[in-house]
Amino acid sequence: MLYAKLILLGMLQVTAYRAVPAQTKPECKNRDHCYTATGDTPSEQGIAVSQDLLLSGKVRYGDVLYVEGIGYRIVNDCMNVRLHNAVDIFVYTKAEEHKIKVRHSKVYLLRG
């Protein structure tokens, strides 16, 4: 039997992003023409993390995070270097983005 445990990363800032140029890159016109740091197209299974979390070694691409109130997501992208201790949830619509707003939630790393 496999066992996994959740390791608390902390109370992190949680935001949402869509595949639009203003929130990603100029060439990112929609989800089908946009790519994450790992080469995936953005999807509801992915999450972007702040670069300080990646540089610290606490989080790596491919890790699974659990965000309270959101659920499980796979790390496949990074955020702008100016952001710290933060995660960005991919959403498809502006309404979904507004629902998440800017919040602070417990974020866990799934290990095992």
Residue 10 phi, psi dihedral angles, 5° rounding: 140, -175
Distance, first Cα to last Cα, the chain? 11
Query: What structural domains and CATH numbers belong to the chain?
Result: 5-111 (2.40.40.10)
Residue 108 is encoded by which pair of tokens?
A: 């866990």
Mean pLDDT of 4-24: 85
Predicted confidence at residue 18, as pLDDT, reads: 82
pLDDT tens digits for range 30-58: 666 677 788 787 788 999 999 999 999 99
Write a three-state SS string for 61-104: CCCEEEECCCEEEEEEEECCCCCCCEEEEECCCHHHHHHHCCEE
- What's the whole-number average pLDDT of the chain? 88
**Measured between alpha carbons, how far is 33 from 13 in angstroms, rounded to an integer?**
27
